[in-house]
Amino acid sequence: MLNNLGKQNSLFNQFIAEIRDEQIQKDSMRFRRNMERLGEIFAYELSKKMEFETKEVTTSLGIAEVPILKQQPVIASILRAGLPFHMGLLSYFDKAENAFISAYRKHDKQGNFEIQIEYVSCPEITDKILIIADPMLATGASMVKTYKELVSYGKPKHTYFASVLASVEGIDYVKKHLSTYDVSIWVGAIDSELTAQAYIVPGLGDAGDLSFGSKLQY
């Protein structure tokens, strides 16, 4: 299942426009905050698909019956670019457990790369809702490898892939490699191209660098 939140006119697209804008991007604090706000909207929309149960809440004047989440999700993010997006999701799913994955592109001398995972911190995920947050779904390889690494820790009830921007190629890659799994893809916008270096076009650039500053290249 593919859900594109940017198809409807809302303030969501204002935040998408700002993270793309090369002038606004110069303010890293605003870039991070916009990523957080997008994460908050993703959390709100994702919550509509989750199970709720009725709870009696005692007020000063009586008892109110209120639907609340039956189970908090586990939020997993790919370091480091996913951190601001993660914090937006966590500010709404504020009782969620959290997982973190260190995944990066290891390049060879010809400019090709493979995804390397060096670190995973993960709670129990069996029979839980899992949200894997990565702001950019470019080739799809990181998302697929991260998912397969995480499910080695247990079988989630359902997994939501959440990405602010995605490429057509990345979405197709996820669908091809995870067609037999209980997953759905949620994005904020879909771009049609990838560069030779596998960056999304028009995209926004490197989300990690824009959030936290440029890094040394090895």
Question: What are the domain boundaries of the chain?
Answer: 2-192
Bond from prior residue into 202 cis (ω within 30 degrees of 0): yes
Q: What does pTM read for this prediction? A: 0.92
CATH topology of domain 2-192: Rossmann fold (3.40.50)
Q: How far is CA 189 from the centre of its chain?
A: 13
List the one residue out of 204, 187, 195, 148 whose CA is nearest residue 12. Answer: 187
Continuous segment of H or E residues that includes residue 133:
strand 129-133
pLDDT band of residue 111 (cuts 50, 70, 90) is: low
- pLDDT single digits (tens) 42-95: 999 999 999 999 999 999 999 999 999 999 999 999 888 899 999 999 999 999
